[in-house]
């Protein structure tokens, strides 16, 4: 995992830089768990290729989202919940254990779905398939932080 250097804090934003992350600003938590969740999602956006990080309920409700692009929140929630619910229900046919992570890889990006709790999952959209292994590792390492905020 890269070493993150905090440059300075200004107007509730921490400006950070790392050789393996894009330079960016991350909101400082000033209003409890909601701010902390937004901060975690924003940190995931700093990974190369990540365009959207969202926490979505199993019912398709988008709890919070951080994105660099404009997108339809309802479509995002519907796609994520239908995909994860299908593959979790289908795992009984495969006689496998609980779903740990689901990656849908396309030519120009990927969708990564990772269950956080029984009711929520993390949804990451990328515009590149480079470094998906490193990204999935970072997602798994952030799951306890996301679960603690819930």
Q: pLDDT tens for residues 86-121?
A: 877 766 666 666 778 888 898 889 999 998 888 899
- Asked if residue 111 is part of any domain, the answer here is yes
Q: Is position 4 within any domain?
A: no
Whole-angstrom Cα distance, residue 52 to residue 41?
A: 8
Q: Is residue 12 part of a domain?
A: no
Q: In the block, which residue shows the tokens 């992350």?
A: 21
27, part of any domain: no
Q: What is residue 19's predicted lDDT score, i.e. its pLDDT?
A: 42
Q: Does residue 26 form part of some domain?
A: no
Specify if 115 maps to a domain.
Answer: yes
7 within a domain of the structure (yes/no): no
Give the pLDDT of residue 91: 62
Q: What is the pLDDT of residue 34?
A: 60
pLDDT tens sequence across 112-147: 999 888 889 999 999 988 888 888 888 888 888 888
Per-residue pLDDT of 31-77, as tens digits, reads 555 678 888 898 899 888 899 999 999 899 999 999 998 888 889 99
Q: What is the C-alpha to C-alpha distance for residues 58 and 121, in angstroms, rounded to an integer?
A: 7
For residue 38, the domain's CATH number is: 3.30.450.30
pLDDT at 124: 93
Two tokens at 81? 């919940």
The verdict on residue 20 lying in a domain is no
Residue 14: pLDDT over 60: no
**Structural domains counted in the chain:** 1
Q: What is the pLDDT of residue 1?
A: 42
Q: Which residue has the higher pLDDT, 149 or 24?
A: 149
Q: Is the separation of the CB atoms in 112 and 123 below 8 Å? A: yes
Q: Give residue 123's pLDDT.
A: 94
Model pLDDT, residue 143:
84
The whole domain housing 142 covers 32-149
The phi-psi region of residue 136 (left if phi > 0; otherwise alpha if psi is between -120 and 50; otherwise beta) is alpha
């Amino acid at each position: 995992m890269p070493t993150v250097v905090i440059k300075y804090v200004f107007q509730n934003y921490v400006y950070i830089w790392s050789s393996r992350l894009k330079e960016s600003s991350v909101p400082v938590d000033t209003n409890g768990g909601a701010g902390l969740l937004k901060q975690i999602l924003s940190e995931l956006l700093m990974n190369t290729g990540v365009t959207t990080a969202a926490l979505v309920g199993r019912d398709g409700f988008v709890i919070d989202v951080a994105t660099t692009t404009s997108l339809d929140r309802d479509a995002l929630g519907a796609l994520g919940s239908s995909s994860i619910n299908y593959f979790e229900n289908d795992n009984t046919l495969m006689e496998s254990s609980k779903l740990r992570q689901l990656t849908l890889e396309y030519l120009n990006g990927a969708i990564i779905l990772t269950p956080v709790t029984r009711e929520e999952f993390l949804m990451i959209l990328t515009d590149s398939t480079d470094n998906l292994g490193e990204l999935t590792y970072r997602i798994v390492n952030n799951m306890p932080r996301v679960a603690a905020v819930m």
